[in-house]
Structure 1
Amino acid sequence: MDSKRPVSVLTDGDMAMRKAIQKVFPSAKHHLCNWHMHRNAKRNVRVDGFEGHFKHLMDLDANEVVFEEAWSKMVRKYGLQNNKWVSDTYNNKGMWAQSYLRGHFFAGMKSSQRCEGMHAFFNEHLKRKLKLFEFVRCFDMALYRLRNKEADAEAKTDNSDSCLTTALQPLEKDAATIFTRRLFLMFRNEIIEEALLIFDGRKEEFDHRIYKFSKYTEFGSTWEVSYHPTTSIMKCSCKKFEFFGLP
Protein backbone atom coordinates (compact mmCIF):
# COMPACT_ATOMS: atom_id res chain seq x y z
CA MET A 1 0.00 0.00 0.00
CA ASP A 2 2.96 2.32 -0.71
CA SER A 3 3.82 2.31 3.02
CA LYS A 4 0.43 3.89 3.85
CA ARG A 5 -1.52 2.66 6.84
CA PRO A 6 -5.32 2.61 6.84
CA VAL A 7 -6.96 5.58 8.54
CA SER A 8 -10.10 3.55 9.28
CA VAL A 9 -10.83 -0.07 10.18
CA LEU A 10 -14.29 -1.67 10.37
CA THR A 11 -14.77 -5.07 12.03
CA ASP A 12 -17.14 -7.02 14.28
CA GLY A 13 -16.59 -6.93 18.05
CA ASP A 14 -13.97 -9.69 18.25
CA MET A 15 -11.63 -8.81 21.16
CA ALA A 16 -8.53 -10.38 19.58
CA MET A 17 -9.09 -8.21 16.49
CA ARG A 18 -9.47 -5.10 18.67
CA LYS A 19 -6.13 -5.76 20.41
CA ALA A 20 -4.37 -6.51 17.13
CA ILE A 21 -5.68 -3.31 15.50
CA GLN A 22 -4.62 -1.21 18.50
CA LYS A 23 -1.12 -2.70 18.25
CA VAL A 24 -0.60 -2.67 14.45
CA PHE A 25 -2.68 0.39 13.47
CA PRO A 26 -2.68 2.58 16.61
CA SER A 27 -3.60 5.74 14.68
CA ALA A 28 -6.53 4.18 12.77
CA LYS A 29 -10.14 4.86 13.80
CA HIS A 30 -11.76 1.52 14.68
CA HIS A 31 -15.48 1.25 13.88
CA LEU A 32 -17.54 -1.68 15.16
CA CYS A 33 -20.03 -3.14 12.66
CA ASN A 34 -23.55 -1.73 13.13
CA TRP A 35 -25.18 -5.03 12.18
CA HIS A 36 -23.28 -6.96 14.84
CA MET A 37 -23.97 -4.25 17.45
CA HIS A 38 -27.68 -4.36 16.66
CA ARG A 39 -27.70 -8.16 16.95
CA ASN A 40 -25.85 -8.04 20.28
CA ALA A 41 -28.35 -5.51 21.64
CA LYS A 42 -31.21 -7.84 20.75
CA ARG A 43 -29.44 -10.81 22.35
CA ASN A 44 -28.30 -9.13 25.60
CA VAL A 45 -31.21 -6.82 26.46
CA ARG A 46 -34.58 -8.50 26.21
CA VAL A 47 -36.73 -5.44 26.86
CA ASP A 48 -39.51 -4.45 24.46
CA GLY A 49 -38.60 -1.35 22.47
CA PHE A 50 -34.92 -1.20 23.48
CA GLU A 51 -33.59 -2.79 20.30
CA GLY A 52 -35.10 -0.16 18.00
CA HIS A 53 -34.22 2.69 20.36
CA PHE A 54 -30.59 1.56 20.54
CA LYS A 55 -30.37 1.35 16.74
CA HIS A 56 -31.74 4.91 16.51
CA LEU A 57 -29.04 6.20 18.86
CA MET A 58 -26.35 4.22 17.05
CA ASP A 59 -27.22 6.02 13.79
CA LEU A 60 -28.00 9.38 15.41
CA ASP A 61 -26.44 12.09 13.24
CA ALA A 62 -25.93 14.69 15.96
CA ASN A 63 -23.16 16.01 18.18
CA GLU A 64 -21.92 14.30 21.35
CA VAL A 65 -24.01 16.48 23.70
CA VAL A 66 -27.27 15.49 22.00
CA PHE A 67 -26.21 11.82 22.05
CA GLU A 68 -25.39 11.88 25.77
CA GLU A 69 -28.76 13.39 26.64
CA ALA A 70 -30.61 10.88 24.44
CA TRP A 71 -28.64 7.94 25.89
CA SER A 72 -29.43 8.97 29.49
CA LYS A 73 -33.13 9.23 28.67
CA MET A 74 -33.11 5.78 27.05
CA VAL A 75 -31.36 4.12 30.02
CA ARG A 76 -33.85 5.65 32.45
CA LYS A 77 -36.83 4.79 30.26
CA TYR A 78 -36.01 1.07 30.17
CA GLY A 79 -34.52 0.87 33.69
CA LEU A 80 -31.11 -0.32 32.52
CA GLN A 81 -28.91 1.63 34.94
CA ASN A 82 -27.41 -1.61 36.34
CA ASN A 83 -27.26 -3.63 33.13
CA LYS A 84 -23.62 -4.67 32.54
CA TRP A 85 -23.88 -5.00 28.75
CA VAL A 86 -25.41 -1.54 28.47
CA SER A 87 -22.67 -0.04 30.68
CA ASP A 88 -19.85 -1.79 28.78
CA THR A 89 -21.33 -0.78 25.44
CA TYR A 90 -21.64 2.84 26.53
CA ASN A 91 -17.96 2.86 27.56
CA ASN A 92 -17.06 1.88 23.98
CA LYS A 93 -19.37 4.47 22.37
CA GLY A 94 -16.47 5.97 20.42
CA MET A 95 -16.34 2.78 18.36
CA TRP A 96 -20.00 2.50 17.31
CA ALA A 97 -21.97 5.73 17.92
CA GLN A 98 -22.27 7.85 14.77
CA SER A 99 -22.14 10.98 16.94
CA TYR A 100 -18.56 10.08 17.93
CA LEU A 101 -17.51 8.79 14.49
CA ARG A 102 -18.57 11.86 12.52
CA GLY A 103 -15.70 13.44 10.63
CA HIS A 104 -13.73 10.18 10.29
CA PHE A 105 -13.53 8.71 6.80
CA PHE A 106 -15.32 5.38 6.31
CA ALA A 107 -16.56 5.85 2.71
CA GLY A 108 -20.10 5.77 4.08
CA MET A 109 -19.75 2.23 5.46
CA LYS A 110 -21.22 1.38 8.85
CA SER A 111 -21.12 -2.43 8.70
CA SER A 112 -18.88 -5.20 7.40
CA GLN A 113 -21.45 -5.84 4.66
CA ARG A 114 -18.92 -5.04 1.90
CA CYS A 115 -16.63 -7.80 3.20
CA GLU A 116 -19.52 -10.26 3.59
CA GLY A 117 -20.64 -9.38 0.07
CA MET A 118 -17.19 -10.24 -1.24
CA HIS A 119 -17.34 -13.59 0.56
CA ALA A 120 -20.69 -14.31 -1.09
CA PHE A 121 -19.30 -13.30 -4.48
CA PHE A 122 -16.41 -15.76 -4.27
CA ASN A 123 -18.70 -18.49 -2.90
CA GLU A 124 -20.50 -18.44 -6.25
CA HIS A 125 -17.26 -19.48 -7.99
CA LEU A 126 -15.56 -21.69 -5.40
CA LYS A 127 -16.64 -25.09 -4.11
CA ARG A 128 -15.46 -26.86 -0.97
CA LYS A 129 -13.75 -29.85 -2.63
CA LEU A 130 -11.87 -28.12 -5.44
CA LYS A 131 -8.40 -29.41 -6.26
CA LEU A 132 -5.66 -26.78 -5.92
CA PHE A 133 -5.26 -26.19 -9.67
CA GLU A 134 -9.05 -25.93 -10.01
CA PHE A 135 -9.20 -23.41 -7.17
CA VAL A 136 -6.59 -21.16 -8.82
CA ARG A 137 -8.47 -21.24 -12.11
CA CYS A 138 -11.85 -20.48 -10.50
CA PHE A 139 -10.33 -17.71 -8.36
CA ASP A 140 -8.78 -16.10 -11.45
CA MET A 141 -12.16 -16.23 -13.22
CA ALA A 142 -13.82 -14.51 -10.25
CA LEU A 143 -11.18 -11.75 -10.26
CA TYR A 144 -11.63 -11.37 -14.02
CA ARG A 145 -15.34 -10.71 -13.52
CA LEU A 146 -14.62 -8.06 -10.89
CA ARG A 147 -12.03 -6.30 -13.05
CA ASN A 148 -14.29 -6.48 -16.08
CA LYS A 149 -17.12 -4.77 -14.17
CA GLU A 150 -14.73 -2.02 -13.07
CA ALA A 151 -13.42 -1.53 -16.61
CA ASP A 152 -17.00 -1.39 -17.92
CA ALA A 153 -17.89 1.33 -15.37
CA GLU A 154 -14.80 3.36 -16.35
CA ALA A 155 -15.53 2.97 -20.08
CA LYS A 156 -19.10 4.22 -19.65
CA THR A 157 -17.81 7.20 -17.67
CA ASP A 158 -15.08 8.07 -20.20
CA ASN A 159 -17.19 7.62 -23.35
CA SER A 160 -20.57 9.06 -22.45
CA ASP A 161 -21.93 12.36 -21.19
CA SER A 162 -24.46 12.69 -18.40
CA CYS A 163 -27.66 14.62 -18.95
CA LEU A 164 -27.44 17.78 -16.84
CA THR A 165 -30.70 18.28 -14.96
CA THR A 166 -30.07 20.60 -12.00
CA ALA A 167 -29.84 24.38 -11.70
CA LEU A 168 -26.13 24.12 -10.84
CA GLN A 169 -25.08 22.81 -14.24
CA PRO A 170 -21.42 24.01 -14.19
CA LEU A 171 -20.88 22.17 -10.91
CA GLU A 172 -22.81 19.15 -12.15
CA LYS A 173 -20.81 19.04 -15.40
CA ASP A 174 -17.49 19.17 -13.55
CA ALA A 175 -18.56 16.35 -11.21
CA ALA A 176 -19.50 14.21 -14.23
CA THR A 177 -15.86 14.27 -15.36
CA ILE A 178 -14.56 13.21 -11.92
CA PHE A 179 -16.94 10.52 -10.65
CA THR A 180 -18.05 7.23 -12.14
CA ARG A 181 -21.69 7.26 -13.23
CA ARG A 182 -22.88 5.58 -10.05
CA LEU A 183 -21.13 8.09 -7.78
CA PHE A 184 -22.14 10.97 -10.04
CA LEU A 185 -25.83 10.09 -9.57
CA MET A 186 -25.28 10.12 -5.80
CA PHE A 187 -23.58 13.52 -6.06
CA ARG A 188 -26.39 14.89 -8.23
CA ASN A 189 -28.89 13.78 -5.59
CA GLU A 190 -26.99 15.97 -3.10
CA ILE A 191 -27.51 18.95 -5.44
CA ILE A 192 -31.23 18.15 -5.59
CA GLU A 193 -31.37 17.93 -1.78
CA GLU A 194 -29.65 21.33 -1.62
CA ALA A 195 -32.80 22.88 -3.07
CA LEU A 196 -34.56 22.06 0.22
CA LEU A 197 -32.11 24.12 2.28
CA ILE A 198 -33.14 27.51 3.64
CA PHE A 199 -30.50 30.21 4.10
CA ASP A 200 -30.79 31.60 7.63
CA GLY A 201 -28.07 34.25 7.45
CA ARG A 202 -24.32 34.60 7.85
CA LYS A 203 -21.80 36.13 10.22
CA GLU A 204 -18.31 37.44 9.57
CA GLU A 205 -15.38 36.10 11.56
CA PHE A 206 -11.73 37.25 11.49
CA ASP A 207 -10.62 35.12 8.53
CA HIS A 208 -13.78 33.29 7.47
CA ARG A 209 -17.54 33.49 7.14
CA ILE A 210 -20.16 31.23 8.69
CA TYR A 211 -23.38 30.50 6.80
CA LYS A 212 -26.38 29.04 8.62
CA PHE A 213 -28.88 26.69 6.98
CA SER A 214 -31.98 24.76 7.90
CA LYS A 215 -33.97 22.21 5.92
CA TYR A 216 -37.53 22.66 4.71
CA THR A 217 -38.55 19.10 5.67
CA GLU A 218 -36.65 18.94 8.99
CA PHE A 219 -37.76 21.78 11.24
CA GLY A 220 -35.41 22.33 14.17
CA SER A 221 -32.35 20.94 12.37
CA THR A 222 -29.70 23.52 11.51
CA TRP A 223 -26.23 23.36 9.97
CA GLU A 224 -23.31 25.77 9.77
CA VAL A 225 -20.89 26.03 6.84
CA SER A 226 -17.61 27.87 7.40
CA TYR A 227 -15.94 29.36 4.32
CA HIS A 228 -12.33 30.60 4.23
CA PRO A 229 -11.93 32.97 1.22
CA THR A 230 -8.11 32.90 1.20
CA THR A 231 -7.92 29.10 0.88
CA SER A 232 -11.41 28.38 -0.59
CA ILE A 233 -11.87 25.74 2.11
CA MET A 234 -15.44 24.94 3.17
CA LYS A 235 -16.52 22.82 6.11
CA CYS A 236 -20.02 21.86 7.18
CA SER A 237 -21.07 20.95 10.70
CA CYS A 238 -22.69 17.74 9.39
CA LYS A 239 -19.18 16.36 8.57
CA LYS A 240 -20.65 14.09 5.90
CA PHE A 241 -17.89 14.92 3.41
CA GLU A 242 -15.26 13.80 5.91
CA PHE A 243 -17.24 10.59 6.69
CA PHE A 244 -18.43 9.65 3.21
CA GLY A 245 -15.98 11.38 0.86
CA LEU A 246 -18.71 12.84 -1.37
CA PRO A 247 -19.52 16.61 -1.33
Structure 2
Amino acid sequence: MTEAKFELKWLNAIERFGLQHNEWVKTMYCKWKQWAETFLRSTFFGGLWSTQWSESINAFLNCFKNSRLKLYEFVSHIDRAMSCLRNNKLKDDFDSINEHTILLTHLLQLEKYVAKVYTRHTFTWVRDEIKTKAKPSIVNCVDDMDNVMYTFKKFVGGDTTWIVKYTPSTNSFNYSCKMFDKLGIPCCHAFSVMKAMNQNNIPQHS
Protein backbone atom coordinates (compact mmCIF):
# COMPACT_ATOMS: atom_id res chain seq x y z
CA MET A 1 0.00 0.00 0.00
CA THR A 2 1.01 3.64 -0.36
CA GLU A 3 2.42 5.61 2.55
CA ALA A 4 -0.74 7.74 2.77
CA LYS A 5 -2.95 4.64 2.86
CA PHE A 6 -0.72 3.05 5.51
CA GLU A 7 -0.98 6.11 7.74
CA LEU A 8 -4.77 6.22 7.32
CA LYS A 9 -5.10 2.54 8.31
CA TRP A 10 -2.75 3.10 11.28
CA LEU A 11 -4.88 5.99 12.56
CA ASN A 12 -8.07 3.97 12.05
CA ALA A 13 -6.59 1.08 14.07
CA ILE A 14 -5.59 3.43 16.91
CA GLU A 15 -9.11 4.87 16.97
CA ARG A 16 -10.76 1.45 16.84
CA PHE A 17 -8.79 -0.05 19.73
CA GLY A 18 -8.47 3.14 21.81
CA LEU A 19 -4.67 3.29 21.72
CA GLN A 20 -4.25 7.08 21.53
CA HIS A 21 -2.28 7.21 24.81
CA ASN A 22 -0.42 3.90 24.54
CA GLU A 23 3.31 4.67 24.90
CA TRP A 24 4.46 1.56 22.98
CA VAL A 25 2.20 2.42 20.02
CA LYS A 26 3.55 5.99 20.02
CA THR A 27 7.12 4.65 19.99
CA MET A 28 6.38 2.27 17.10
CA TYR A 29 4.77 5.11 15.17
CA CYS A 30 7.99 7.14 15.43
CA LYS A 31 9.98 4.16 14.13
CA TRP A 32 7.63 2.89 11.44
CA LYS A 33 10.06 3.68 8.61
CA GLN A 34 12.35 1.03 10.13
CA TRP A 35 9.81 -1.81 10.20
CA ALA A 36 6.74 -1.12 8.03
CA GLU A 37 7.01 -2.81 4.61
CA THR A 38 5.36 0.20 2.97
CA PHE A 39 8.49 2.26 3.71
CA LEU A 40 10.93 -0.54 2.84
CA ARG A 41 9.69 -1.21 -0.69
CA SER A 42 12.57 0.77 -2.19
CA THR A 43 15.20 -1.13 -0.19
CA PHE A 44 16.93 -4.05 -1.93
CA PHE A 45 16.49 -7.35 -0.08
CA GLY A 46 17.03 -9.80 -2.95
CA GLY A 47 13.74 -11.51 -2.09
CA LEU A 48 14.64 -12.22 1.54
CA TRP A 49 13.63 -10.70 4.86
CA SER A 50 15.91 -11.06 7.87
CA THR A 51 13.73 -13.75 9.49
CA GLN A 52 13.60 -15.80 6.30
CA TRP A 53 17.37 -15.58 5.92
CA SER A 54 17.91 -16.71 9.51
CA GLU A 55 15.47 -19.62 9.20
CA SER A 56 16.89 -20.81 5.87
CA ILE A 57 20.47 -20.68 7.16
CA ASN A 58 19.49 -22.59 10.32
CA ALA A 59 17.76 -25.28 8.27
CA PHE A 60 20.78 -25.56 5.97
CA LEU A 61 23.31 -25.82 8.81
CA ASN A 62 21.25 -28.47 10.60
CA CYS A 63 22.27 -30.87 7.83
CA PHE A 64 25.91 -30.50 8.86
CA LYS A 65 25.80 -30.46 12.66
CA ASN A 66 24.34 -32.10 15.74
CA SER A 67 24.36 -31.38 19.48
CA ARG A 68 27.11 -33.93 20.24
CA LEU A 69 29.79 -32.33 18.09
CA LYS A 70 32.98 -31.15 19.79
CA LEU A 71 34.07 -27.59 19.02
CA TYR A 72 36.81 -28.56 16.56
CA GLU A 73 34.36 -30.94 14.83
CA PHE A 74 31.77 -28.16 14.61
CA VAL A 75 34.27 -25.86 12.85
CA SER A 76 35.09 -28.61 10.37
CA HIS A 77 31.38 -29.17 9.62
CA ILE A 78 30.79 -25.44 9.10
CA ASP A 79 33.67 -25.46 6.61
CA ARG A 80 31.94 -28.29 4.73
CA ALA A 81 28.73 -26.30 4.71
CA MET A 82 30.46 -23.24 3.23
CA SER A 83 32.09 -25.40 0.55
CA CYS A 84 28.66 -26.75 -0.34
CA LEU A 85 27.30 -23.20 -0.74
CA ARG A 86 30.24 -22.21 -2.94
CA ASN A 87 29.74 -25.31 -5.11
CA ASN A 88 26.05 -24.48 -5.52
CA LYS A 89 26.96 -20.99 -6.74
CA LEU A 90 29.52 -22.37 -9.18
CA LYS A 91 26.97 -24.87 -10.51
CA ASP A 92 24.42 -22.10 -11.01
CA ASP A 93 27.01 -20.06 -12.94
CA PHE A 94 27.97 -23.11 -15.03
CA ASP A 95 24.34 -23.95 -15.83
CA SER A 96 23.64 -20.33 -16.75
CA ILE A 97 26.49 -20.31 -19.28
CA ASN A 98 26.11 -23.78 -20.77
CA GLU A 99 22.48 -24.89 -20.52
CA HIS A 100 20.07 -24.26 -23.37
CA THR A 101 16.98 -22.47 -22.09
CA ILE A 102 13.53 -23.75 -23.05
CA LEU A 103 11.33 -20.73 -23.83
CA LEU A 104 7.77 -21.07 -22.55
CA THR A 105 6.06 -17.67 -22.79
CA HIS A 106 4.59 -15.90 -25.82
CA LEU A 107 7.06 -13.00 -25.40
CA LEU A 108 9.89 -15.06 -26.84
CA GLN A 109 12.35 -12.26 -27.56
CA LEU A 110 11.99 -10.77 -24.10
CA GLU A 111 12.27 -14.19 -22.49
CA LYS A 112 15.39 -14.96 -24.54
CA TYR A 113 16.96 -11.68 -23.40
CA VAL A 114 16.09 -12.44 -19.76
CA ALA A 115 17.77 -15.85 -20.09
CA LYS A 116 21.00 -14.13 -21.18
CA VAL A 117 21.23 -11.56 -18.38
CA TYR A 118 20.08 -13.59 -15.35
CA THR A 119 21.29 -16.83 -13.80
CA ARG A 120 19.09 -19.90 -14.30
CA HIS A 121 17.70 -19.67 -10.79
CA THR A 122 16.71 -16.01 -11.19
CA PHE A 123 15.54 -16.56 -14.77
CA THR A 124 12.71 -18.87 -13.64
CA TRP A 125 11.68 -16.19 -11.16
CA VAL A 126 11.60 -13.46 -13.82
CA ARG A 127 9.78 -15.75 -16.27
CA ASP A 128 6.97 -16.10 -13.73
CA GLU A 129 6.55 -12.31 -13.88
CA ILE A 130 6.35 -12.49 -17.68
CA LYS A 131 3.68 -15.19 -17.40
CA THR A 132 1.58 -13.15 -14.96
CA LYS A 133 1.70 -9.96 -17.03
CA ALA A 134 -1.86 -10.71 -18.17
CA LYS A 135 -3.23 -10.32 -14.61
CA PRO A 136 -3.10 -6.48 -14.51
CA SER A 137 -4.87 -4.46 -17.21
CA ILE A 138 -3.78 -1.09 -18.59
CA VAL A 139 -6.62 1.32 -17.76
CA ASN A 140 -4.94 4.58 -18.71
CA CYS A 141 -1.92 5.86 -20.65
CA VAL A 142 -0.73 9.48 -20.59
CA ASP A 143 2.11 10.71 -22.83
CA ASP A 144 3.41 14.17 -21.88
CA MET A 145 6.42 14.03 -24.25
CA ASP A 146 8.95 13.66 -21.41
CA ASN A 147 7.33 10.59 -19.83
CA VAL A 148 4.75 7.95 -20.66
CA MET A 149 2.59 7.04 -17.66
CA TYR A 150 0.73 3.70 -17.61
CA THR A 151 -1.90 2.96 -14.96
CA PHE A 152 -2.85 -0.63 -14.14
CA LYS A 153 -5.63 -2.37 -12.27
CA LYS A 154 -6.18 -6.03 -11.51
CA PHE A 155 -7.89 -7.72 -14.47
CA VAL A 156 -10.92 -8.88 -12.44
CA GLY A 157 -11.99 -6.78 -9.45
CA GLY A 158 -10.00 -4.77 -6.93
CA ASP A 159 -9.50 -1.02 -6.57
CA THR A 160 -5.72 -1.04 -6.19
CA THR A 161 -3.85 0.74 -8.97
CA TRP A 162 -0.20 0.53 -10.03
CA ILE A 163 1.72 3.06 -12.09
CA VAL A 164 4.67 2.52 -14.42
CA LYS A 165 6.47 5.61 -15.72
CA TYR A 166 8.68 5.26 -18.76
CA THR A 167 11.20 8.00 -19.60
CA PRO A 168 12.34 7.73 -23.26
CA SER A 169 15.28 10.17 -22.86
CA THR A 170 16.97 7.85 -20.34
CA ASN A 171 15.26 4.63 -21.50
CA SER A 172 14.28 3.93 -17.88
CA PHE A 173 11.27 2.70 -15.92
CA ASN A 174 9.93 3.70 -12.53
CA TYR A 175 7.45 1.36 -10.83
CA SER A 176 5.03 2.30 -8.05
CA CYS A 177 5.10 -1.31 -6.78
CA LYS A 178 8.89 -0.91 -6.18
CA MET A 179 9.52 -4.57 -7.08
CA PHE A 180 12.70 -3.82 -9.02
CA ASP A 181 14.07 -1.75 -6.14
CA LYS A 182 13.35 -4.50 -3.61
CA LEU A 183 14.05 -7.68 -5.62
CA GLY A 184 16.20 -6.57 -8.54
CA ILE A 185 13.83 -7.93 -11.21
CA PRO A 186 11.15 -6.20 -13.32
CA CYS A 187 7.51 -6.68 -12.32
CA CYS A 188 4.64 -7.98 -14.43
CA HIS A 189 3.47 -4.36 -14.96
CA ALA A 190 6.82 -3.50 -16.54
CA PHE A 191 6.59 -6.47 -18.91
CA SER A 192 3.09 -5.33 -19.91
CA VAL A 193 4.53 -1.93 -20.83
CA MET A 194 7.44 -3.52 -22.71
CA LYS A 195 4.94 -5.52 -24.74
CA ALA A 196 2.81 -2.42 -25.43
CA MET A 197 5.93 -0.56 -26.58
CA ASN A 198 7.16 -3.53 -28.63
CA GLN A 199 10.47 -3.75 -26.75
CA ASN A 200 12.57 -6.91 -26.97
CA ASN A 201 14.92 -6.25 -24.05
CA ILE A 202 14.89 -4.84 -20.55
CA PRO A 203 16.22 -1.26 -20.28
CA GLN A 204 19.45 -1.14 -18.30
CA HIS A 205 18.06 1.54 -16.00
CA SER A 206 14.90 -0.26 -14.91
TM range (shorter): 0.7 to 0.9
Task: Give the corresponding residue for 2:176.
Answer: 237
Aligned-residue offset at 1:133: 4.5
Which of 21, 33, 40 in structure 2 is aligned with 1:101?
40
Q: Over residues 8-58 of structure 1, what are the superposed CA-to-partner deviations in whole Å (9 max), with x where a residue is unaligned? A: xxxxxxxxxxxxxxxxxxxxxxxxxxxxxxxxxxxxxxxxxxxxxxxxxxx
- Separation in structure 2 between the aligned mates of residue 83 and residue 169 of structure 1, nearest angstrom: 56
Aligned to 2:108: 169
| Counterparts of residues 1-247 of structure 1 (less than 5 Å) | 62-127=1-66, 130-131=69-70, 133-247=72-186
How far residue 169 of structure 1 moved from its aligned partner, in angstroms, is 0.9
1:201–1:211 CA contact under 8 A, matched in 2: yes
**Which position in structure 2 is the counterpart of 1:34?**
none
SS at match of 1:66: helix
Aligned residue identity for 2:43: H
C-alpha spacing 1:82/1:156, structure 2 compared with 1 (3 Å)? same
Task: Report the counterpart of residue 33 of structure 1 in structure 2.
Answer: none
Instruction: Give, in whole Å, the separation in 1 of the partners of 2:135 and 2:55.
Output: 36
TM-score (norm 1): 0.68
From the superposition, tell whether residues 98 and 136 of structure 1 become closer, same or farther in structure 2 (CA, over 3 Å). Answer: closer
SS of the aligned residue for 2:61 comes to helix
- Between 1 and 2, higher relative CO (CA 8 Å, sep ≥ 6) is seen in 2
Q: Secondary structure at the match of 1:112?
A: helix
1:78 and 1:131 map into 2 onto residues whose CA distance is: 52
1:233, CA displacement in angstroms?
A: 0.6
Whole-angstrom distance in 1 between the partners of 2:96 and 2:107: 20
Q: Give the number of equivalent residue pairs.
A: 186
Determine helix, strand or coil for the equivalent of 2:104: coil
Consecutive unaligned residues of structure 1, counting only runs of 5 or more, are 1-61
**TM-superposed deviation, 1:102:** 1.9
- Structure 2: 5+ residue stretches without partners: 187-206
The superposition leaves residues 72-98 of structure 1 with CA deviations (integer Å, 9 ceiling, x where unpaired) of 111122222222222211211001111
Question: Is this contact kept in 2: 1:208–1:229, CA < 8 A?
Answer: yes
Residue type at the aligned position of 1:78:
F
Q: Distance in 2 between matches of 1:132 and 1:196?
A: 53
CA RMSD, aligned part only? 2.1
Q: What is the aligned-residue identity percentage?
A: 35
